[in-house]
Amino acid sequence: MQPFTYTMPRTVAEAIAAFRQAGPDASYIAGGTSLYDVMKLDIVRPRHLIDVSAIEGLDAIETGRDQLRFGALARMSAVATDKTLLRDYPVLAESLWKAASQQLRNMATVGGNLLQRTRCLYFRNGTGNPSSVGLYPCNKREPGSGCAAIGGLDRGQAVLGQSDACTAVSPGDWPVALTAMDATVELAGPDGSRAMPIAELYRLPGDTPHLEFMLQPGEIITAIIVPKTPAGRRSTYHKIRDRESYAFALASAAVALDMDGDHVRRAHVALGGVGTRPWRARAAEQLLVGQRLTPESALTAGRAALEGARAGKHNGFKVDLGARTVADALMIAAERSA
């Protein structure tokens, strides 16, 4: 790991000032569960770490007003056990407690979680030698070097949103739930503050898979806003993994339903584990409006959610698994009382 300076500012303004002074080789760090991990693999090599975790007043969880507001530094474990969320927005709470382990949830923040790096095996296969492109080429790790996952061991790779340059899966659960629930992120940076729909935070890989987030240099996520909706109670985060706990999703679905009897008034559907970014399934949502929800109509919606999926050599199962995960999630959510 390359040596770096380490600073711990106390305010957002101090953090941004430190970033401006440190220049392009600086990086913010919060919980560190993703960044410190890829630093140990020599994939990311900051020369200046600006630890934002001691900034005061950025960890509040506010559920009492007309919208849900999560300070970026709220711990995953704190938000996962918030009583209002568990009752009124289970999709949000479940996406957090089904992610990581309790140790990591105690460290990681809900803001930092949005910027988690992919678990693509080829991306993570650096050799620890800063002058090397790693054991295998990776366009995300070393732009222009190629992608060994395409045509390689691609069981875990994306079937939606991939390009000829990259098929790495967006790894998060919480971002998928937030995408389904129309969240907004608040940002502060050298050029001031702004808000951005979470759907706009994530880039498709295209020709530039090394660019993952629509953040300007020096910008910090300060809060996450989720509009309140009656669909929150009939919601779930359904996550299918190789083992029952503490694993990344093979396929996952965040759904929330506004029902009129057994008919769907409005549906929120997003997928994880199958796409190169959190994947909103608008076609599935529209298909469900006005429909009676049955296992058959749920599976039809699930198939629509995977429309346009392209499989590689070993990940074809994700197309069917994704559709069935959406269908199961819809039936689970529908059984919850509004």
Partner 1 sequence: MTNYADDEDQAAKVDARQNVSRRSALKGGAALAVLPLTFEGPAEAQPTAPMVAGVAVEPAHSVLLSTSVNGKVVEFRVDARSSLLDFLRERLALTGAKKGCDHGQCGACTVHLDGRRVASCLTLAAKAQGREVITIEGLSDGEGLHPMQQAFIDHDALQCGYCTPGQIMAAVALVNEGNATSKERIREYMSGNICRCGAYVGIVAAIEDAASKMRRA
Number of shown-chain residues binding partner 1 (CB under 8 A): 37
Q: Please, are residues 48 and 20 in contact by the beta-carbon 8 Å criterion?
A: no
Choose which of 57, 87, 102, 197 interacts with partner 1 (CB under 8 A). 102
Furthest-apart CA atoms within the chain: distance in Å:
62
Which listed range, 2-10, 171-179, 257-265, 292-300, lies at the site for partner 1 (CB under 8 A)?
2-10
In the complex, the smallest distance separating the C-beta of residue 76 from partner 1, rounded to whole angstroms, is 12
Please, which of residues 8-47 interact with partner 1 by CB under 8 A?
8-10, 14, 17-18, 21-22, 29, 32-33, 36-37, 40
E strand segments, 228-272: 235-240, 251-260, 263-272
Sequential DSSP letters for 59-91 = --EE-SSSEEEEETTSBHHHHHT-HHHHHH-HH
Reduce the DSSP state of residue 230 to 3 states and report it: helix
Beta bridge partners of 255: 236, 269
Which of 248/279 has CB closer to partner 1? 248
Which of 10/263 has CB closer to partner 1? 10
Residue 208 found at the interface with partner 1 (CB under 8 A): no
Which of 29/274 has CB closer to partner 1? 29
Choose which of 100, 138, 201, 257 interacts with partner 1 (CB under 8 A). 100
Q: Distance between CA 170 and CA 309 in Å, rounded?
A: 15
Question: For residue 166, which of 303, 92, 275, 45 has the smallest C-alpha distance?
Answer: 275
Residue 77 found at the interface with partner 1 (CB under 8 A): yes
Q: Please state, in angstroms and as integers, the Cα–Cα distance from residue 6 to each residue in 19, 50, 73, 130, 175, following that order.
A: 12, 6, 18, 20, 28
Residue 217 found at the interface with partner 1 (CB under 8 A): no
Choose which of 55, 107, 147, 284 interacts with partner 1 (CB under 8 A). 107
Which listed range, 109-117, 239-247, 257-265, 302-310, lies at the site for partner 1 (CB under 8 A)?
239-247
Q: Which amino acid is at 317?
A: F
Please, which of residues 50-69 interact with partner 1 by CB under 8 A?
50-51, 53-54
Distance of CA 167 to the CA centre of its chain: 16
- Judged by the rule CB under 8 A, the positions of this chain that interact with partner 1 are 1, 3-10, 14, 17-18, 21-22, 29, 32-33, 36-37, 40, 48-51, 53-54, 77, 100-104, 106-107, 244-246
